[in-house]
């Protein structure tokens, strides 16, 4: 599973980073990005929660 943040939609709320800091980080531009190429299997559920919880639906799952 891979994830991608659409920076045109992200508002930098930090929710994804709070939920799964191993996968998401806020970059210097204040917007989130995925910092892993592949989501570790044991974090997939948390990442799905982050996708569902993103207020602007900026995170997409690329499988």
Binding region for ligand SF4 (CB under 6 A): 5, 10-16, 32, 54-56, 58-59
Which CB sits closer to ligand SF4, 21 or 55? Answer: 55
Which CB sits closer to ligand SF4, 40 or 55? Answer: 55
44/31 Cα distance (integer angstroms): 21
- List phi, psi (to 5°) of 34: -85, 135
Tell me the C-alpha to C-alpha distance, in Å, between residue 31 and each of 34, 41, 45.
10, 25, 22
Which CB sits closer to ligand SF4, 4 or 38? Answer: 4
Q: How far is the CB of 33 from ligand SF4 (least distance, A)?
A: 8
């Amino acid at each position: 599973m891979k994830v991608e943040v659409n920076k045109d939609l992200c508002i930098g709320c930090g929710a994804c980073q709070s939920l799964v800091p191993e996968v998401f980080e806020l970059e210097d531009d204040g917007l989130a990005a995925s910092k892993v190429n592949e989501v570790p299997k044991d974090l997939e559920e948390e990442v799905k929660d982050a996708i569902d919880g993103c207020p602007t639906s900026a995170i997409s799952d690329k499988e």
